[in-house]
């Protein structure tokens, strides 16, 4: 027995000592993988960037800033009354809570941290170093460039929306940090992108599509960075020596520790922007401006670009569109069509189509007053009707609210135009998020050239866009120079890119935001005055908005409509509306009735409510509905929603978001929120 026990003790001691090995207390799991493993091959490495793109989609672009960019201009606005959703768009950031966009701010830095880590790991790889020495784009140089571009893109978004921010602290445990000058950040980003750009794939090369960052996107991003460095912007005057040696030309007065200004050497940056935008066009690869339309039933190459999104495809015009997928549990954020699309009163699930909030509304003076006749972009861009959610078209109203209330809306994204629409649930259609398209780049290049005095080139670029919009060259512009050319480029951008989140930035960069804000407020006042006193208002192009319109439900063989050759057909005109034929969906949502379309009378001409025309319409089954009168009744809400933060052309526009409290309070006073925004 004693021997057995002795053996036992001996065994016990052996095991005990063996387990004292250092590794016993440092276990690992095959579920956690190390740096070497995730960068072992290009396809493994892309998985780390896959997370970056997805995180950008889920936590950054969905941050509130992306919602306010497209609703805070003189062309676009927000539909609801007294909402906190559009405080930034109103340019009243002092009302924001300090952590209003903490998720977006932190999400961008998280994406930056991941991309930076991946870039650092690739940079150490011998295979990558060999490829760089080879001087030709390979999978490794593309991945490295992609990681650096993701990082730069996120910093660019940060600076755009938060102004000067701490730069370069990712993946560190920091206790000592401060604000960096935005101009230094821009310079640093440009320096890094310059290095990686030549070794990135162009579109179509190496299997790269516009759902990833490519060389032409990188070029365009560099162009934008240069433009945003050189353009007007609101800078801080409350942080001493923030901008170092950069000197400024100021505009308007200094208020709340900030002033509207641009750097004195701005032309150098416009030159850079010109180079890079041109490079984006030169390196476009398989991307191009969509100028033809293969559809037999309609001819609208402008709309064709948006139709690619509804078809769940990549548009050849896109330089980058953020990839998405339909359905899914939990659903990915395919929020764009829900937030900015054609409104629907449908329920959250199993509706025809499901709810579309419609956070983006078009200011009526733009819709009525600014499109020239023959511009195919108007109806494809602006919706006057939405959906009832049961297969029926519904007139929108100007009563503040959301869905079918809140005013005329964007028409560029409409779940009715999917084939078939995703009726299972709201916010899950799977449409990609548009980020940058060729027309935008072409017009930014035009803008830069106009500023640099290269008028002929600028006009040619603008006319490329106009010829697509009108289908012919008869609406081309000519002979413009100086400010009138710059105005023409801006106007073209406004109509071409309406609802795409660019107008606000165009106003800021051009230095004209305060004046234009006051101008739109006055235009609205004039229109409302006329509606109030005479029941209608006539725009210079002959269009009329009236207090009332007359509508009637009618049956069309194909309830989904396109451009119409017949502007007198009230069911087809204006075009690009109607409904998908939901009864064709097997096990689909409930469809009510058979008269799915709305015929509209009096949308562009005045009909006297007490006159014979009105009586005749009513006896023909038309119903008189409130139209402009609802703007009159709710004018105070429209006043609040449309850039109410600007009360004088002298005001510096305050379009920034607050840096969240955590980053401020941990900085020991070195980081503060400026522009009159809250500090903790």
Partner 1 sequence: MPATTGSPFDKRWIRLTATALFILSFLGTSTGILAQSRFHITGKVTQSTGEPLAGATIVEKGTSSNVLAKEDGTFAIDVSNQKSTLVISYTGYAPREIKLNGQRQLDIALQSANSNMDEVVVIGYGTTKRKDLTGSVASVSGKTISAIPVPNIAQAMQGKLPGVSVVSQDGRPDADVEIRVRGGGSISQSNQPLILIDGVPGTLSDIPPDQVKSIDVLKDASSTAIYGARGANGVVLVTTKGAQEGKTRIGYNGYVKFNTPAKYLGELAPYDYLKYVWANAAANGAAYQTPFEQVFGLGANAGKNTGGIESYRGLHTDNEQKLVYNNSTSSNHDLTVTGGTDKTKMLFSVNYTNEQGMKINSYLKRANVSFKLGQKLFDNLTFNLDTRYTDIQDMDDEGTTNGTGSILSTAYRFRPIATNHILGDTNALKTGNIEQYGKNSMWDMYSPAARIADFDPLSISQAIRVIGSLDWKIIKGLVYHTDLTLNRAWGQKQYWSGAIYNNYVDDAGNHLFAGAVDYGKSDSWGSRWSNTLTYDFNIDGNNHLNLLAGQEVSNSGGTSMDIQANHFPSNFDKATAFAQINQYDQVNGTSQFSSSVTVPSRLLSYFGRANYALMDRYLFTATFRADGSSKFSPDHQWGYFPAGAVAWKLSEEPFLRGINWLDNWKLRVSLGEVGNDGISSNLWSQSWTSVTDQRFQYDINRLRQSAYDFSSSTEANLNLKWETTITRDIGTDFSVFKGRLSGTVDVYWNTTKDLLMLTSVPGITGFTATYANIGQTSNKGVEFSLSGTIFQNRDWRITAGGNINFNRSNIDQLAPNVTGLYGADWGGIASYPTSDYILQAGHPVGQVRGFKYAGVYTTADFDYNNGTYTLKKGVPDLGSWITVVHGLGATDRPSGQYAYPGLPKFKDLNGNGIIDQNDVSVIGNMNPKHTGGFSLNASYKDIDFGAYFNWSYGNRIYNANKLATLYGPKESGVYENKLNIMKNSYKIYDVEGGQLVRLTTPDQLDAANAHATLPLSYEEVGAVSTLGIEDGSYLRLNTLNLGYTLPKSFVSRAKISNLRIYGSIYNVFTLTGYSGLDPEVNTDPSHNNAVYPTTGLDFGTYPRPRSYIVGLNLTF
CB 215 within 8 A of CB 320: no
Strands 536-538 and 544-546, sheet pairing? antiparallel
323 binds partner 1 (CB under 8 A): yes
User: In which residue are the tokens 């993946």 written?
Assistant: 171
Minimum CB separation of residue 83 from partner 1 in Å reads: 5
Region near partner 1 per CB under 8 A, out of 125-133, 166-174, 260-268, 513-521? 166-174
CB 78 within 8 A of CB 86: yes
CA distance 53 to 68: 21
Among 637, 642, 643, 677, binds partner 1 (CB under 8 A): 637
Angle at 152 between CA 151 and CA 157, to 5 degrees: 100
User: In which residue are the tokens 């353009």 written?
Assistant: 231
Among 60, 61, 71, 87, binds partner 1 (CB under 8 A): 87
Among 285, 633, 649, 672, binds partner 1 (CB under 8 A): 633
**How far, rounded to the nearest angstrom, does the alpha carbon of residue 124 sit from its chain's CA centroid?**
36
Binding residues among 338-377 for partner 1 as defined by CB under 8 A: 345-351
301 binds partner 1 (CB under 8 A): no
241 binds partner 1 (CB under 8 A): no
166 binds partner 1 (CB under 8 A): yes
460 binds partner 1 (CB under 8 A): no
Minimum CB separation of residue 322 from partner 1 in Å reads: 9
Closer to partner 1 by Cβ: residue 82 or 619: 82
667 binds partner 1 (CB under 8 A): yes
Region near partner 1 per CB under 8 A, out of 249-257, 530-538, 567-575, 661-669? 661-669
Closer to partner 1 by Cβ: residue 121 or 572: 121
Query: CA of 518: how far to CAs of 73, 171, 646, in Å?
Result: 11, 45, 7
Q: Return the number of other C-beta atoms located less than 10 Å from residue 60's C-beta.
A: 27
165 binds partner 1 (CB under 8 A): yes
Among 625, 639, 650, 672, binds partner 1 (CB under 8 A): 639
User: In which residue are the tokens 């990686």 written?
Assistant: 196
424 binds partner 1 (CB under 8 A): yes
Region near partner 1 per CB under 8 A, out of 107-115, 269-277, 560-568, 612-620? 107-115
Angle at 336 between CA 330 and CA 340, to 5 degrees: 140
- Secondary structure letter of residue 252 according to DSSP: E
Binding residues among 177-206 for partner 1 as defined by CB under 8 A: 177
591 binds partner 1 (CB under 8 A): no
Which residue in 321, 306, 320, 395 sits closest to 602, CA to CA? 395
Element (H, E) at 503: helix 503-510
DSSP for 72-103, please give it. Answer: SSSSEE--SSS-STTTTTTT-GGGS-TTTTHH
Region near partner 1 per CB under 8 A, out of 356-364, 411-419, 435-443, 628-636? 628-636
33 binds partner 1 (CB under 8 A): yes
Closer to partner 1 by Cβ: residue 332 or 613: 332
Per-residue tokens: 223? 């162009």
31 binds partner 1 (CB under 8 A): yes
Closer to partner 1 by Cβ: residue 96 or 560: 96
CA distance 59 to 671: 23
110 binds partner 1 (CB under 8 A): yes
Strands 361-362 and 382-383, sheet pairing? unpaired
CB 168 within 8 A of CB 179: no
Closer to partner 1 by Cβ: residue 541 or 636: 636
113 binds partner 1 (CB under 8 A): yes
Query: CA of 463: how far to CAs of 519, 578, 658, in Å?
Result: 27, 31, 40
71 binds partner 1 (CB under 8 A): no
51 binds partner 1 (CB under 8 A): yes
Angle at 261 between CA 260 and CA 263, to 5 degrees: 160
254 binds partner 1 (CB under 8 A): no
Region near partner 1 per CB under 8 A, out of 8-16, 66-74, 125-133, 196-204? 8-16
612 binds partner 1 (CB under 8 A): no
Among 199, 310, 640, 646, binds partner 1 (CB under 8 A): 640
Minimum CB separation of residue 652 from partner 1 in Å reads: 21
- Maximum alpha-carbon separation in the chain: 120
Strands 409-410 and 233-236, sheet pairing? unpaired
418 binds partner 1 (CB under 8 A): no
């Amino acid at each position: 027995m004693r021997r057995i026990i002795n053996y036992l003790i001996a065994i016990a001691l052996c095991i005990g000592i063996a387990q004292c090995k250092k590794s016993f207390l440092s276990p690992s799991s095959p579920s956690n993988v190390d740096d070497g493993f995730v960068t072992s091959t290009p396809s493994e490495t892309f998985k780390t960037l896959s997370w970056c793109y997805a995180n950008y989609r889920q936590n950054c672009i969905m941050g509130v800033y992306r919602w306010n960019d497209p609703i805070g201009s003189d062309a676009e606005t927000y539909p609801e009354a007294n909402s906190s959703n559009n405080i930034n768009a109103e340019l009243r950031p002092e009302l924001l809570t300090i952590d209003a966009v903490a998720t977006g701010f932190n999400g961008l830095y998280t994406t930056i941290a991941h991309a930076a880590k991946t870039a650092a790991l690739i940079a150490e790889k011998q295979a990558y170093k060999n490829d760089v020495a080879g001087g030709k784009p390979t999978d490794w140089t593309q991945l490295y460039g992609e990681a650096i571009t993701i990082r730069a893109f996120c910093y660019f978004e940060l600076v755009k929306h938060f102004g000067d921010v701490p730069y370069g602290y990712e993946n560190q445990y920091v206790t000592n940090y401060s604000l960096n000058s935005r101009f230094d950040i821009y310079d640093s980003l440009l320096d890094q992108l310059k290095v990686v750009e030549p070794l990135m794939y162009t579109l179509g090369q190496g299997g790269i599509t516009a759902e990833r960052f490519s060389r032409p996107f990188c070029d365009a991003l560099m162009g934008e960075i240069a433009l945003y460095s050189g353009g007007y912007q609101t800078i801080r005057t409350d942080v001493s020596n923030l901008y170092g040696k950069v000197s400024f030309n100021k505009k308007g007065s200094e208020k709340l520790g900030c002033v509207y200004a641009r750097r004195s050497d701005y032309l150098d940056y416009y030159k850079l922007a010109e180079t890079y935008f041109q490079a984006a066009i030169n390196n476009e690869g398989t991307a191009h401006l969509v100028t033809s339309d293969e559809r037999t039933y309609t001819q609208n190459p402008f709309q064709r670009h948006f139709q690619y999104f509804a078809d769940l495809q990549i548009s050849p015009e896109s330089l980058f569109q953020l990839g998405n997928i339909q359905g899914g549990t939990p659903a990915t954020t395919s929020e764009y069509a829900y937030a900015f699309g054609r409104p629907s009163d449908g329920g959250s699930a199993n509706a025809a189509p499901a709810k579309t909030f419609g956070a983006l509304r078009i200011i009526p003076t733009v819709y009525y007053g600014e499109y020239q006749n023959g511009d195919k972009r108007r109806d494809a861009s602006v919706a006057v009707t939405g959906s009832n959610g049961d297969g029926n078209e519904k007139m929108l109203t100007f009563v503040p609210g959301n869905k079918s209330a809140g005013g005329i809306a964007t028409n560029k994204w409409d779940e009715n135009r999917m084939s078939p629409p995703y009726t299972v649930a709201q916010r899950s259609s799977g449409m990609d998020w548009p980020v940058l398209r060729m027309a935008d780049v072409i017009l930014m290049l035009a803008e830069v050239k106009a500023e640099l005095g290269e008028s002929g080139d600028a006009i040619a670029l603008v006319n490329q866009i106009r010829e697509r919009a009108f289908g012919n060259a008869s609406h081309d512009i000519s002979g413009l120079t100086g400010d009138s050319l710059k105005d023409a480029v801006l106007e073209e951008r406004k109509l071409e890119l309406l609802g795409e989140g660019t107008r606000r930035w165009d106003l800021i960069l051009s230095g004209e935001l305060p004046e234009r804000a006051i101008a739109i407020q006055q235009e609205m006042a004039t229109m409302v005055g006329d509606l109030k006193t005479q029941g209608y208002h006539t725009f210079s192009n002959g269009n009329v908005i009236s207090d009332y319109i007359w509508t009637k439900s009618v049956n069309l063989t194909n309830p989904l409509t396109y451009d119409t050759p017949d502007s007198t057909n009230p069911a087809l005109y204006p075009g690009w509306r109607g409904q998908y034929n939901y009864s064709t969906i097997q096990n689909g949502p409930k469809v009510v009735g058979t008269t799915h379309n709305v015929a509209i009378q009096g949308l562009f001409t005045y009909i006297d409510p007490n006159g014979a025309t009105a009586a005749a319409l009513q006896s023909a089954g038309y119903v008189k509905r409130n139209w402009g009168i609802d703007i009159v009744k709710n004018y105070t809400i429209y006043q609040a929603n449309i850039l109410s933060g600007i009360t004088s052309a002298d005001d510096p526009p305050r379009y920034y978001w607050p840096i969240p409290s955590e980053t401020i309070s941990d900085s020991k006073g070195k980081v503060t929120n400026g522009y009159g925004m809250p500090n903790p």
